[in-house]
Protein backbone atom coordinates (compact mmCIF):
# COMPACT_ATOMS: atom_id res chain seq x y z
CA UNK A 1 0.00 0.00 0.00
CA UNK A 2 1.52 3.32 -1.02
CA UNK A 3 2.27 5.71 1.75
CA UNK A 4 0.05 8.79 1.74
CA UNK A 5 1.83 11.80 0.43
CA UNK A 6 2.58 14.21 3.14
CA UNK A 7 1.16 17.65 2.45
CA UNK A 8 2.96 20.69 3.75
CA UNK A 9 1.02 22.60 6.42
CA UNK A 10 -0.99 25.53 5.16
CA UNK A 11 0.50 28.92 5.91
CA UNK A 12 -1.38 30.86 8.57
CA UNK A 13 -3.95 33.30 7.19
CA UNK A 14 -2.65 36.85 6.87
CA UNK A 15 -3.28 38.90 9.98
CA UNK A 16 -5.55 41.85 9.37
CA UNK A 17 -4.08 45.14 10.50
CA UNK A 18 -5.26 46.91 13.61
CA UNK A 19 -6.99 50.25 13.19
CA UNK A 20 -3.85 52.09 14.27
CA UNK A 21 -1.75 50.18 11.73
CA UNK A 22 -3.59 51.50 8.66
CA UNK A 23 -1.37 53.23 6.14
CA UNK A 24 -2.34 56.69 4.85
CA UNK A 25 -5.12 56.41 2.28
CA UNK A 26 -6.07 52.89 3.35
CA UNK A 27 -9.54 52.02 4.59
CA UNK A 28 -10.46 49.40 7.15
CA UNK A 29 -12.93 48.04 4.60
CA UNK A 30 -9.97 47.08 2.37
CA UNK A 31 -9.04 44.48 5.02
CA UNK A 32 -12.52 43.37 6.01
CA UNK A 33 -14.79 40.62 4.74
CA UNK A 34 -17.77 42.97 4.63
CA UNK A 35 -18.93 42.03 8.09
CA UNK A 36 -21.49 44.82 8.29
CA UNK A 37 -23.14 43.55 5.07
CA UNK A 38 -23.76 40.07 6.44
CA UNK A 39 -26.51 40.77 8.95
CA UNK A 40 -29.09 43.32 9.93
CA UNK A 41 -30.50 44.18 13.30
CA UNK A 42 -33.61 46.03 14.32
CA UNK A 43 -34.80 47.29 17.71
CA UNK A 44 -37.53 45.45 19.59
CA UNK A 45 -40.04 46.53 22.20
CA UNK A 46 -38.65 45.73 25.63
CA UNK A 47 -40.32 42.46 26.62
CA UNK A 48 -42.47 42.62 29.72
CA UNK A 49 -44.60 39.47 29.75
CA UNK A 50 -44.72 35.88 28.61
CA UNK A 51 -46.21 36.82 25.23
CA UNK A 52 -43.26 39.11 24.50
CA UNK A 53 -40.73 36.46 25.50
CA UNK A 54 -42.65 33.95 23.41
CA UNK A 55 -42.13 36.17 20.38
CA UNK A 56 -38.40 36.24 21.08
CA UNK A 57 -38.34 32.46 21.45
CA UNK A 58 -40.01 32.28 18.06
CA UNK A 59 -37.40 34.57 16.45
CA UNK A 60 -34.60 32.42 17.83
CA UNK A 61 -36.28 29.20 16.75
CA UNK A 62 -35.62 30.22 13.14
CA UNK A 63 -31.83 29.95 13.41
CA UNK A 64 -29.25 32.48 12.24
CA UNK A 65 -30.91 34.92 14.63
CA UNK A 66 -29.78 36.44 17.88
CA UNK A 67 -31.43 38.80 20.35
CA UNK A 68 -29.22 41.14 22.29
CA UNK A 69 -29.55 44.08 24.66
CA UNK A 70 -27.34 47.11 24.25
CA UNK A 71 -27.73 50.18 26.47
CA UNK A 72 -31.14 48.92 27.61
CA UNK A 73 -32.52 48.52 24.09
CA UNK A 74 -33.42 45.07 22.82
CA UNK A 75 -32.49 44.13 19.25
CA UNK A 76 -33.16 41.28 16.89
CA UNK A 77 -30.15 40.38 14.75
CA UNK A 78 -30.58 38.29 11.60
CA UNK A 79 -27.44 36.88 9.98
CA UNK A 80 -27.93 37.04 6.25
CA UNK A 81 -25.62 38.25 3.50
CA UNK A 82 -26.82 41.22 1.49
CA UNK A 83 -27.55 40.23 -2.09
CA UNK A 84 -25.32 43.05 -3.34
CA UNK A 85 -22.22 41.84 -1.53
CA UNK A 86 -19.70 40.68 -4.14
CA UNK A 87 -17.36 37.70 -3.70
CA UNK A 88 -14.48 40.12 -3.13
CA UNK A 89 -16.46 41.72 -0.25
CA UNK A 90 -17.22 44.93 -2.16
CA UNK A 91 -20.67 46.42 -2.75
CA UNK A 92 -22.16 45.88 -6.22
CA UNK A 93 -24.32 49.00 -5.91
CA UNK A 94 -21.89 51.19 -4.00
CA UNK A 95 -23.04 54.48 -5.56
CA UNK A 96 -26.72 53.61 -5.13
CA UNK A 97 -26.54 51.77 -1.83
CA UNK A 98 -29.34 52.41 0.68
CA UNK A 99 -29.16 55.35 3.06
CA UNK A 100 -28.47 53.14 6.07
CA UNK A 101 -25.32 51.85 4.32
CA UNK A 102 -24.22 55.33 3.27
CA UNK A 103 -24.51 56.59 6.84
CA UNK A 104 -22.60 53.66 8.34
CA UNK A 105 -18.95 54.41 9.02
CA UNK A 106 -15.92 52.49 10.17
CA UNK A 107 -15.78 54.60 13.34
CA UNK A 108 -17.66 52.14 15.56
CA UNK A 109 -18.05 49.24 13.18
CA UNK A 110 -17.49 45.59 13.98
CA UNK A 111 -14.12 45.32 12.23
CA UNK A 112 -12.33 44.57 15.51
CA UNK A 113 -14.31 41.46 16.57
CA UNK A 114 -14.86 42.92 20.02
CA UNK A 115 -18.64 43.08 20.19
CA UNK A 116 -19.98 43.19 23.70
CA UNK A 117 -23.58 43.33 24.78
CA UNK A 118 -25.39 43.60 28.08
CA UNK A 119 -27.35 40.42 27.31
CA UNK A 120 -27.29 37.93 24.45
CA UNK A 121 -29.81 35.19 23.65
CA UNK A 122 -29.00 32.65 20.99
CA UNK A 123 -31.41 29.81 21.75
CA UNK A 124 -35.12 29.72 22.66
CA UNK A 125 -34.34 27.81 25.85
CA UNK A 126 -32.21 30.68 27.14
CA UNK A 127 -35.17 33.03 26.76
CA UNK A 128 -37.52 30.65 28.54
CA UNK A 129 -35.10 30.35 31.48
CA UNK A 130 -34.61 34.11 31.63
CA UNK A 131 -38.36 34.80 31.56
CA UNK A 132 -39.05 32.08 34.13
CA UNK A 133 -36.59 33.74 36.50
CA UNK A 134 -38.32 37.11 36.13
CA UNK A 135 -42.00 36.40 35.71
CA UNK A 136 -44.68 34.57 37.65
CA UNK A 137 -45.23 30.99 36.52
CA UNK A 138 -46.48 30.76 32.96
CA UNK A 139 -49.44 28.53 33.57
CA UNK A 140 -51.32 29.16 36.78
CA UNK A 141 -52.58 25.99 38.46
CA UNK A 142 -56.36 25.79 38.19
CA UNK A 143 -58.18 27.36 41.12
CA UNK A 144 -59.46 24.74 43.57
CA UNK A 145 -63.10 24.01 42.96
CA UNK A 146 -65.49 25.09 45.63
CA UNK A 147 -67.22 22.12 47.23
CA UNK A 148 -70.74 21.79 45.96
CA UNK A 149 -73.19 22.58 48.70
CA UNK A 150 -76.42 20.85 49.11
CA UNK A 151 -79.48 23.04 48.52
CA UNK A 152 -81.05 24.45 51.61
CA UNK A 153 -84.35 22.76 52.21
CA UNK A 154 -86.85 24.38 54.44
CA UNK A 155 -89.28 22.07 56.17
CA UNK A 156 -92.67 23.59 56.64
Q: How far is the CB of 75 from ligand SF4 (least distance, A)?
A: 17
Q: How far is the CB of 25 from ligand SF4 (least distance, A)?
A: 15
* 51/108 with CB nearer ligand SF4: 108
Q: How far is the CB of 86 from ligand SF4 (least distance, A)?
A: 8
* 106/126 with CB nearer ligand SF4: 106
* 29/78 with CB nearer ligand SF4: 29
CA distance 53 to 46: 10
Binding site residues, ligand SF4, CB under 6 A: 28-29, 32, 34-37, 82, 84-85, 91, 93, 97-98, 101, 106, 109-111
Q: 94-109 b/e with 16+ CB inside 10 Å = b? A: eeeeeeeeeeeeeeee
Q: How far is the CB of 121 from ligand SF4 (least distance, A)?
A: 23
What are the beta bridge partners of residue 85? 91
* 102/138 with CB nearer ligand SF4: 102
CA distance 68 to 77: 8
CB distance 34 to 89 below 8 Å:
yes
CB distance 63 to 94 below 8 Å:
no
Amino acid sequence: MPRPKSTPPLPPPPRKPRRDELKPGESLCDHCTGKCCRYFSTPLETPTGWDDYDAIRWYLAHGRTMVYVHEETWYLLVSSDCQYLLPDHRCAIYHDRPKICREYTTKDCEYDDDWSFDKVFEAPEQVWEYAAALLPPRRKPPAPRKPELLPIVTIP
